[in-house]
Amino acid sequence: MQINRLVFPGFWFDRQDISFAEELARLGVGGFCVYGGSLAQIKQFTQRVRRASPLEKILICADYEDGLGRWVKDAPRLAPNLALGAAGDENLAFEKGLLTALQARQLDIDWVFAPVLDLADTPNNPIVNARAFAADTQTVTRLARAFISGLTQGGALNCLKHFPGHGQTETDSHLAMPVLHRTLAQLNQHELIPFIELFKHTHGVMTGHLLLPALDPQNPASFSPAIQTQLLKNQLGWKGCVLTDALLMRAIGDEKQAAIKALLAGSHILLAMNDPVSLLDFLHKNPANPAIVQEACAQIDALCQQAKRLAARSGGSLETLSTFNQRAAQAACVQTGKITLNKENKIKLLALGDQEQRGFAVFEETLKQEGVNVVSHGADTLVLLSLSNYKSFKGHINLSEQELALARKEIKQHSQSVLVCLGSPFAALDLQQEVQSTLHAFCPLDAFQQTAAEILLGKRAAKGNLPVAL
């Protein structure tokens, strides 16, 4: 039964039945990571699996990096980390952590798998991007520390990810194995700095499914004794819990062999596999060293006690939740060049990179409310709206060659043009020299669309500083 505690299955609402999770809970798994669902569904889930479990405490976890809204259908999504990096405001980072924790605790969720400490220093990275705070280690460390402080005050455990740093890769590990071409000296000067600085504030370290040939040419960080035991534990002195990234990712191949390798490398928690029942059966038929299991259970016991203490002393108010994104947007937006739109202009709006069909309705409506004439033909001013952003299993980011060609054709047909990035700032790399102005808003949340429009209307100043190099 002890080995079962090391397994933390994922649970996907509307794809799986709670009775399946209850059966896993009865088998003694150590916790769950929840994806999707509504507030009511998640609350019911946590109650039912806790009742089903024979354990005194199981840990319910979630990837709520931007509040609950990325996963929970009736909860608000909060401004992405990169927007907070542009704002540079520790108070906003603290508040984001606090609001996230308070919402999570209302659902009886113990552990928020955040913050992301990866550096936003590679334009074609398809999976980090706006999840990171910045390209520089100082900003990442400063804002992540404030975010962690907010999570702690709100009563939630936190987790640093993705060790030793997922920034300088160009492959989505959900699809294939990313390779990080960094030496140990380079890691010590860049990627590892936020981890080292924040070890004393965290409850766990999540390893990344990425290969570092300079440290281990055979095994990704999630299975590598050289990275998990020698580097993370022995050289850097991390004594707490180590957990894998989701085992369902295609980068790792067979999840059963991956689980065994992860335990041998130094992991304590096996997270979110495709087939937890088969994995449990496999682990019983191929038992790990008892010492490994005992150490992992001790780490999980310690986390359970920490979760109880945090929940008991959590404090704070959700009163500012409704205005958080508005305040973040007003502090974050960055503008280069200046174009002011008014009633004299005829504006054409053209969306690029909108594979998720998010649209730009709030942006357009804000312009129209001020009397700006939005037209399909005969416009003098072109507003390009890039909505390109990261998405798991998507495999790419920024604008395609076809979209760039369309943008350039339209730019030539208008007397002036502006690019508004409602997503990845790196989407501007190929067009920023061809437009008169670029406005970075970092995400398509309503408050950011409205603020971006107000800046172009001259009603508001852009106050942020770009947290990445373009």
Burial status of residue 254 (CB atoms within 10 A of its CB: 0-12, 13-18, 19 or more): exposed
Residues taking part in catalysis? 174, 245
Q: Give the number of other Cβ atoms within 10 Å of residue 46's Cβ.
A: 18
> d(Cα 373, Cα 194) in Å, to the nearest integer?
47
Within 253-330, strands assigned E span 270-271
Which residue type sits at 354? D
The Cα 180–Cα 212 span in angstroms is: 5
Residues counted in the chain: 470
> What's the rounded Cα separation, in Å, for the pair 222 and 233?
14
Residue burial 380-398, b: 16+ Cβ < 10 Å; e: rest = ebbbbbbbbbbbeebebbb
Task: In whole angstroms, give the CA distance from residue 402 to residue 385.
Answer: 15
Query: Distance (Å, rounded) from C-alpha 145 to C-alpha 122?
Result: 23
* Cα 337 from Cα 372, distance rounded (Å): 20
What's the DSSP call for residue 28? T
CA dihedral 276, 113, 299, 290 (to 10 degrees): 30
Instruction: Give whole-number Cα distances, 30 to 61, 108, 140, in Å.
Output: 11, 15, 31
Give the three-class secondary structure for 65: strand
Enclosing H/E stretch for 50:
helix 39-52
Are the C-beta atoms of residues 341 and 99 closer than 8 Å to each other?
Answer: no
Q: Is 241:204 a contact under the CB 8 Å cutoff?
A: yes
> Token pair 């319910």 is at which residue?
60
DSSP label of 449: H
